[in-house]
Chains A and B, each alone.
Chain A
Amino acid sequence: MTVVIAVPSSLDDLTFESVLDQLAQHPADAKVIVDARHSTFATPYGLTALLTLAQTRAEKAEFLPPENPDTVSYWARAGFFRYAEELFDVRGHVPRPRSSGESDVLLEVTPVTKSDDVHGVVERIQERAASILLNKLHLESRATMGFAMTLSEACQNIVEHAGRGGWVMVQAYNYRRRLGGRFVVVIAVCDAGVGFRSSLESGQRRPLSDRWDDAVALEAAVVNGVSRYGDPGRGQGLKGIRGYVHRWEGKLSVRSGTARIALIPSWDDDVPRREGLAFFPGAQLQITIPEKVSAVA
């Protein structure tokens, strides 16, 4: 049996749920065709989550790339097809990525499997991030270092907890849907590993409460800083991410298993906790840092 999964025209962290909802109706070993022909926009979360999806399929899925030449060209520049061609059977021709000079892709899709990958990500991001954060987001210079720290900690979650490789991507763009065209920088870190619940269970770090599910596990790790390691110094990475996001009025969302929690700034109307979502392995994290309001006339 072959099933077609339609990718929404605008693919982000929220619309990706429709992809998972479609997948949930079919067995894990079903032959899948991921149809992105009508997609015209994708956030870093959308692109990295698609690669993560491919990792979860028992049988290699087929992939139909966007038909819009600008979209498919952008996906190529973002490095998506470099890995999609390994993970999917990509149908048709996709353009080779070309250097576009000035680009708002701060970090193209990058695999993260080991500690050295995190060093590489941090080294590559710093100079470009500094320029974007200072000149487009109008943040103070100390925001730059915190940004690299936040990115480092987000990537380390894959290395330390996922049990398999994941993906990171960073991009700046105009956020028309929510912020009236203000610039944002978005970090997406997605993996198809064990997820927060299994990670905490493996370290015997389940909180002493009757209720135990993906939402409780997410809250324990992201909000309360519980780590699967007994080491009292653990859990500071996500705490640091929360602090950075809060300081710069950003948004943090983390999805794992069947739940998603979000730390929501005043400019967004997302809900803090979603439960009963279609199951998806691993952890998918998104950080959005907006342009400073006072800098917008």
Chain B
Amino acid sequence: MTRIDVGSVLRHSANLPFSDLVTRPTGAAVRRCIQTELAALSEGDVALLDFSHIGMMDYSCADEVVAKLLIALAGQDAHAGYIVFHGITDAHLEAIEVVLDHHGLALVVQFADGGARLVGSVSDEERAIWEMVYARGSAAADDVADGAGREPAEMARILESLLHRRLLRHDGDTYAPLGPVQ
């Protein structure tokens, strides 16, 4: 897994002497640097976007760094990589949740102890299924359907939607979480 230190990107790559992610121009500069690093990933690679050294983040910056990054990643000509967010605090979440809700986006936050959480615009059903896959580490659609007591076709549709939103990835014939599992 490739780790991208957003604090370092802010200060060095974007050459901005700050620790807070505020203002749209700052956010846009940081996003462009991150996108350059993501472009070097191989297909299917997962990047850990580490916000541990970021102080605060405002709505405008969250929109530029988080939302536009996810939108670009989901775009047709985007590089086929995945992103896991790390070092996210409640202070960051305040802005991130607002912009994710605004755009109908979601992301995976990974905690230091290996635990993970889905943040953003997902249905209760999508969240429950994502958590089931996460708990199993890797699962085929039929297995998840059995576990949830649902029709395989219906389960495949939901899993494919989570896959399309880059909240899960393929691991051979199965669906798997983006990061290492606890």
* A interface with B by C-beta (< 8 Å): 115, 118-119, 122-123, 126, 142, 145-146, 148-149, 152-153, 156, 159-160, 232-233, 236-237, 239-240, 243
B99 contacts partner chain A, Cβ-Cβ < 8 Å? yes
Q: Are B98 and A239 in contact (CB under 8 A)?
A: yes
Between A and B, 6 residue pairs with Cβ closer than 8 Å are A122-B22, A233-B64, A236-B60, A237-B59, A237-B60, A240-B98
* B interface with A by C-beta (< 8 Å): 16, 18, 20, 22-26, 55-60, 63-64, 67-68, 90-91, 94-95, 98-99, 102-103
Residues on B with C-beta less than 8 A from A159 are 23
Q: Are B23 and A233 in contact (CB under 8 A)?
A: no
Q: Are B98 and A156 in contact (CB under 8 A)?
A: no
Q: Are A233 and B56 in contact (CB under 8 A)?
A: no
Q: Are A160 and B94 in contact (CB under 8 A)?
A: no
* Closest B residue, CB atoms, query A225: B102
Q: Are A115 and B90 in contact (CB under 8 A)?
A: no
Q: Are B99 and A236 in contact (CB under 8 A)?
A: yes
Contacts A123-B20, A142-B91; is A149 near B59 (CB within 8 Å)? yes
Q: Are B91 and A153 in contact (CB under 8 A)?
A: no
* Closest A residue, CB atoms, query B19: A123
Q: Complex Cα distance A119/B26, Å?
A: 9
Q: Are B26 and A152 in contact (CB under 8 A)?
A: no
The residue from B16, B58, B67 contacting A149, defined by CB atoms under 8 A apart: B58
* Closest B residue, CB atoms, query A121: B22
* Closest A residue, CB atoms, query B63: A233
Q: How far is the CB of B22 from chain A (nearest CB, A)?
A: 4
Q: Are B18 and A119 in contact (CB under 8 A)?
A: yes
Q: Complex Cα distance A267/B90, Å?
A: 29
Contacts A149-B56, A240-B59; is A156 near B94 (CB within 8 Å)? no
The residue from A115, A123, A160, A243 contacting B98, defined by CB atoms under 8 A apart: A243
Most A CB contacts (10 A, CB to CB) among B55, B59, B60, B90 go to: B59
Q: Complex Cα distance A118/B63, Å?
A: 17
Q: Are A145 and B24 in contact (CB under 8 A)?
A: no
Residues on B with C-beta less than 8 A from A243 are 98
Q: Complex Cα distance A223/B98, Å?
A: 16
Q: How far is the CB of B104 from chain A (nearest CB, A)?
A: 10
